[in-house]
A = this chain, B = another copy of it.
Amino acid sequence: MDPITNAHVLTDDVGFLLSRASGLFVRATNAALLSYGLRVRSYSVLLLACEAAEGVTQRDLAEVLGLDPSQVVLLVDELADSGLVERRPSDSDRRTKLVVATAAGHALRAEAVVEVGAAVSAQLADLTGTEQFLLRDLLGRLVRGNGGAFPA
């Protein structure tokens, strides 16, 4: 019997711990983003838009973020209304809209990243640098192995 999947107490269950840890990080990140008028989901969209110089397709955003395309529409709407991103038509496909960060978007991201980094850092304080790397690697493989369809 696998000792992980059948932990005899709930608090040893990987799924439970993932949920708890995720909740802690989401709350801490949202708190850090409060003054910027962002929340973790819109912040993620902004980051992806900033990372892609030529813009990102909404479908790609949905896939990377694990969201339904319909949810992405609302998040992009919100960022666009704030002037942080804009939708540009694609040359190759007129159905596709490329989400591109504006100058304001890049500027806000640069500030927000510092705050979020500090919040995340505080959450990870009990782990050594090596352990943090290890955790990231394990989580990455978990996500990439199960429907997590992003590059690299």
**Chain A residues in the interface with B (C-beta under 8 A):** 2-7, 9-26, 29, 40, 44, 47-48, 51, 64-66, 113, 116-118, 120-121, 123-127, 129, 131-136, 138-143, 145-148, 150-152
Cβ–Cβ contact A146 & B24, under 8 A: yes
Please give the distance in Å from A4's CB to the nearest CB on chain B: 4
What are 24 of the A-B contact pairs (CB < 8 Å)? A6-B117, A9-B51, A11-B150, A14-B135, A15-B22, A15-B29, A15-B120, A15-B123, A18-B21, A18-B22, A18-B25, A18-B139, A19-B22, A21-B22, A21-B142, A22-B22, A123-B142, A124-B142, A125-B145, A126-B141, A127-B138, A127-B142, A134-B138, A135-B142
Q: How far is the CA of A6 from the CA of B72 in the complex (A)?
A: 24
Residue from A9, A65, A145, A146 having most chain B Cβ neighbours under 10 A: A146
List residues of chain B with CB within 8 A of the CB of A129.
Answer: 2-4
Q: A129-B2, A138-B131, A138-B134 are in contact. Are A26 and B15 (CB under 8 A)?
A: yes
Cβ–Cβ contact B123 & A17, under 8 A: no
List residues of chain B with CB within 8 A of the CB of A11.
Answer: 64, 140, 150-152
Choose one: B21, B48, B123; the contact of A10 (CB below 8 Å): B48
